[in-house]
Amino acid sequence: MLLQQLIEAEFAIASKNAGGAAFGWLLRQRAPAEGSLSSVWAAAGSLEHVSVGTVDFRCAARQDAGALLKFVREELTDRSRALFAPYPYELSDAELLSSFHKAIEDSLEGQSLSFIFTEGSGGKGAAAVEEEPRIVAHAFLWAAQTQVPEVGIAVADRLQGRGLGKAVMAILVGCARCMHKDALELTTMLDNTRAKTLYEKTGFETLGTIINPLGCDVTAAFEGRAEPTGIAEEYQMVLFLRQNKALCVRGEMAAKRHRSHTLFQHISNTLATQKQNVNGRTQV
């Protein structure tokens, strides 16, 4: 199937799961008509909501690094950043900007698939890159060359609860199906009940808990190419896209959970010791 048809099919599923009108988002501009994998990195269009207005989406470009920095600093609260932690927010703006440049380059090289969702630009779509866009959501598929990419989604606090996250997920799932992926993986904080409920309604299944690195590319950390700034125990969730591969994917995910404890447990122990030391000094 063409990418356009796959994304439209995911929107239909999201609308049905949300009770039709409750979903609220319509796909106004279509993704490219080509069925090739390259069309996924050229995907662009517009979403429309009766009370929110128009939101354009496209793959991130090099000039979007500054807008992404502004998005995470100004559009996300501390709580939202704690729940969406693929970037080292504790660093200076210059260092964080460098992280965004690296993430965008990875997407341009096909290592990942990174999207930005911006306030409507009057239907200009992918061409509207001359002026710095105001980003209202950011999403990605990390490890896009593997059969089980990792999903990440962040929505501006002022637009949370409007169903935009569901629309973003529908686009990501459509892209993954176009790339013939076996499954999608994501992790979510143990206390992020809103996101977990969204993912379950989308069809994700909770497989267990995993120790996840924070402040860096998760895939790179698991491969020893990145040093996390912290860790978090999170739910590991998977959406199976090809049922004949489900057993194999379950095995891979179980092995990854085991590996996470082997790789990152020492960080957990160090943080626990530091916390005990701080508490001890406070009590004295």
Q: Following DSSP, what letter does each residue of 239-250 receive, concatenated?
A: EES-GGGHHHHH
Q: How many domains does the chain have?
A: 1
Question: What digits encode the pLDDT tens for the residues 18-69?
Answer: 776 667 888 876 555 454 555 799 889 999 998 899 999 999 999 999 999 9
Distance CA 141, CA 214 (A): 16
CB 85 within 8 A of CB 214: yes
- The amino acid sitting at 60 is A
What distance in Å separates the CA atoms of residue 84 and residue 78, rounded to the nearest whole number? 10
Q: What is the pLDDT of residue 279?
A: 52
CA–CA separation, 122 vs 134, rounded Å?
14
Handedness of CA 106, 5, 28, 47 (dihedral sign): negative
Q: Write out the two tokens for 2.
A: 């063409």
pTM: 0.86
Predicted confidence at residue 128, as pLDDT, reads 47
171 lies in which domain range?
3-283
Q: Which pLDDT score is estimated for 125?
A: 45
**C-alpha dihedral over 234, 235, 240, 241, to 10 degrees?**
-40
pLDDT of residue 212: 86
What is the pLDDT, as a whole number, of residue 274?
A: 56
Question: What is the helix (H) or strand (E) element at residue 188, kind and residue range?
Answer: strand 183-189
CA angle 133, 139, 142 (to 5 degrees): 130
Q: What pLDDT does 15 receive?
A: 82
CATH number at residue 130: 3.40.630.30
Average pLDDT per run of 10 along the chain, which is 284 residues long?
Answer: 84 79 74 59 90 93 96 96 91 96 96 95 50 91 96 95 92 95 96 88 94 80 81 94 97 95 75 55 48
Q: Classify residue 74 by its DSSP letter.
A: I
